[in-house]
Structure 1
Amino acid sequence: MGLLDLLFGKRKQEVLEAIERGAKIVDVRTAQEFKYGNVDGSLNIPVDSLNASNIKKLKKLNAPLIVCCASGMRSASAKGILLQNGLEEVHNAGAWHKLNRWVNS
């Protein structure tokens, strides 16, 4: 097992454990991208819409969050924004299609 396998295997394990604890999936792609494919039950809040109002809504969920996007770049940014705004447990799953395989395997 290589270093990347170890790192990504750990990410997968953390994400799946968070889902078992009731985590909510937040897809931070645009509405147009989300429309053409997404993880069932995920919320669509584009990364550039992570304003005070949407952050407040996410806090009210009172659950761990898993962020995803097309490749992992926007979800990494979203994770930083959410953590800076007081959300305590946020996981970056990276690409939504990979997360979709994880939750449906």
Structure 2
Amino acid sequence: MKEVTPDEVVALLMGSTEVSIIDVRESSEVEAGKIPEAMHIPLGELQTRLAELEKTTEYVIICRSGNRSGIATQFLNSLGYNASNMVGGMLEWKGTLSK
């Protein structure tokens, strides 16, 4: 499984690489703040919302600590999506947040 650090995600967002972020935390967790560019798809809804994703897009998957996002990353990769897990999750995120 491909992994990226929170600092690498910041660099990706500020750079020329086009990347999409998927936050797989529950709604109550996202209410406390999320990465502004992130799309919220709770882990339990990921399978039913695959039509919203493109296999040609590079995705970074995030959660609170990196465990659920690891599960989501493995699932997406098994279906042919280009996904990386942000290790450490939002616990390690030092960038901006939106509500």
TM-score bin (small chain): 0.7 to 0.9
**Structure 1 runs of 4+ with >2 Å offset:** 10-20, 96-99
Which residue pairs with 1:72 in the alignment? Answer: 66
State the structure with bigger RCO (CA 8 A, min sep 6), 1 or 2: 2
Is there any run of 5+ residues in structure 1 with no aligned partner, and where?
Answer: 1-9
Identity %: 24
Q: State the AA in 1 paired with 2:69.
A: S
Deviation at 1:18, TM superposition (A): 4.5
- How many corresponding residue pairs? 90
Q: Of the two, which has the highest radius of gyration?
A: 1
Task: Give the aligned residue type for 2:52.
Answer: K
Q: CA RMSD in A?
A: 2.3
Unaligned runs of 5+ in 2: none
TM-score using structure 1 length: 0.71
Q: Which structure: greater helix fraction?
A: 1
Which residue does the alignment assign to 1:92?
A: 85
Q: What is the rounded CA distance, in whole Å, between the counterparts of 1:66 and 1:49 in structure 2?
A: 17
Q: Specify the alignment match of 1:11 in structure 2.
A: 4
TM-score (norm 2): 0.75
